[in-house]
């Protein structure tokens, strides 16, 4: 999948293993790099859904329309599905097999 970032500073952070580990620590940094690698390697978001440890889930309330995967502890990698408008199933739900990119909007603990 294609991975975009909402800011250039977040893109720089996520493209540097050293910066990721410095900001998030060793365990969380390694898991974040793993999750970004899984997203990049997947053809669509449906493939990520089949990775149980990833914990892919739809968010609600002020993060409605965004999705997250588990990083470490309460930390999550939060993203919006692409392309826009998001592909829908006939029942109105998101068609994960047609989501071919994500835009990373938040990394951290939103709880």
pLDDT number for residue 54: 87
Per-residue pLDDT of the chain (111 residues; tens, 9 = 90+): 999 999 999 999 999 999 999 999 999 999 999 999 999 999 999 999 888 788 999 999 999 999 999 999 999 999 999 988 989 999 988 999 999 999 999 999 987
Can you read off the two tokens belonging to residue 58? 């739809």
Closest CA to 39 of 88, 89, 78: 78
- The CA distance from 10 to 6, in Å, is 7
Can you read off the two tokens belonging to residue 13? 């952070």
pLDDT number for residue 78: 98
């Amino acid at each position: 999948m294609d991975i975009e970032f909402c800011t250039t500073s977040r893109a720089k952070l996520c493209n540097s293993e050293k910066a990721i580990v410095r900001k998030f620590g060793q365990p969380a940094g390694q898991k974040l790099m793993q999750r970004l690698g899984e997203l990049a390697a997947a053809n669509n978001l449906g493939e990520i859904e089949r990775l149980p440890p990833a914990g892919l889930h739809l968010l609600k309330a002020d993060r409605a329309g965004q999705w997250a995967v588990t990083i470490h502890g309460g930390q999550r990698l939060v993203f919006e599905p692409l392309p826009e408008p998001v592909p829908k199933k006939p029942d109105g739900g998101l068609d994960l097999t047609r989501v071919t990119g994500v835009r990373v909007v938040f990394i951290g603990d939103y709880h």
